[in-house]
Chain A
Amino acid sequence: MACPVTTVWESETIPDSNKLFMRVHKNIILAGQIPHGVFRDPDGKGMSTDWEAYASPHQTRARGGKPAEEYAVIAVEKGAVEADTPLSVKHTPIAPSAAESKGNRAHTDILGLKQCSNADKTEARVALWRLSRYCVNLNDPVVPVDL
């Protein structure tokens, strides 16, 4: 009987200059502006992003729970996040499993938002908002990608 092959990706150090991608749902975008509300960490496990080393913005766009055309994608530089906020960035690849069948090697968490005081959280969200730039606009065509 053959053993199932399990892929496990090691957590890597992300260079400060590398970008992290994050989806933004169309509902929350007002007048084309990046919304502050996208920066959230409801369960304290971190804000999910994708590291550009293992994902393209279009792959990030396609990984949402809704159709890809409903999302824009923003990018934020890892080093800037850690320099301008009390948050930290950790590469947290998701191994393929029954729940996440294909896994996500690019998965990266921005940690610490939930643990901030309300005022620090609001300040951190302003900082993240200032650091973020669109890399896929909402009206950009959906690019077929392999996940």
Chain B
Amino acid sequence: MADQYRSTQNKPTLAEDLAGYGIARLGEVTTQVPIRYANRPAGRTLDPRAVLPEDPRIPQLEKTIKQLRRREQEQDREIARLVDRVALLEQQMAERIATDMPDREAAMLTRQFIQAVDRARPILEWPDDWDGEGSPSYRAETLDRVQTFLVEGALALWRMHSRTAPAPQVAAGPDGSIDLHWQSNGRELLVNIPVESDEVGSFYGDDAEGKIKGEIGGSVDAAWLLGWLAR
């Protein structure tokens, strides 16, 4: 009995107790709590875990808290998932604005260039000396290079500046080369695409402000020339 009323002053904490004596001691310690609480010296604290199991609502509350925390974690995960989804949709939308939409527009724009080249395809059927002046025949490769030049130029112009240019008249040039000719908005431009792929194309254009001329290459490409037309 004396032992039952002994002070807890020199007793280890419950954690130390548990660590030292094991779970089996917990029941013994907790049953003594009310008495110890009543007799404990001022300044001493009790481990609350020794008290809480006494309230029959605690387990249910703990269970409820766990459920709420689990639900909160699920909601956090759902929010994170939705945030990721929104970010993905924003990225996809940005990509569509940056590429897909212009490409769709550009497909319409490039169509006119392809049609312009297609209108010139009958020249491929002309034999050597088609004009009685000794002119050579025209090669499909040259016309294909013209199409690539125009389509890539139109796409690049759209992507860089969201601008379009009119399609040229594609015509038989001198000695197997191909001429591209534009006349619009007071501007005139003639581009010559040579027969051989390693030869350099050339251009001349002018308007009321002045003239441009040179060889195609470096910074002067189809996009630059179409951009000049589209100013």
Chain A residues with CB under 8 Å of chain B are 23, 25, 27-28, 30, 33, 35-40, 42, 64-66, 70, 117-123, 125-126
Among A25, A36, A39, A120, point to the contact of B133 (Cβ < 8 A).
Answer: A25
What is the CA–CA distance of A70 and B126 in the complex, to the nearest angstrom? 14
Contact residues, B159-176 vs A (CB, 8 A): 169, 171-175
Q: Which residues of B contact A121 (CB under 8 A)?
A: 192, 202
Inter-subunit contact A35/B171 (CB<8 Å): yes
B198 contacts chain A at the CB level, 8 A cutoff = no
Residue of A with least CB distance to B179: A36
Total of A-B residue pairs, C-beta within 8 Å: 85
B52 contacts chain A at the CB level, 8 A cutoff = no
Inter-subunit contact A27/B126 (CB<8 Å): yes
Inter-subunit contact B131/A66 (CB<8 Å): yes
What is the CA–CA distance of A28 and B181 in the complex, to the nearest angstrom? 14
Inter-subunit contact A39/B190 (CB<8 Å): no
Inter-subunit contact A64/B213 (CB<8 Å): no
B83 contacts chain A at the CB level, 8 A cutoff = no
- Interchain residue pairs A-B with the least CB separation, the first 4: A65-B132, A40-B174, A66-B132, A25-B131
Residue of A with least CB distance to B131: A25
What is the CA–CA distance of A30 and B116 in the complex, to the nearest angstrom? 12
Inter-subunit contact A27/B169 (CB<8 Å): no
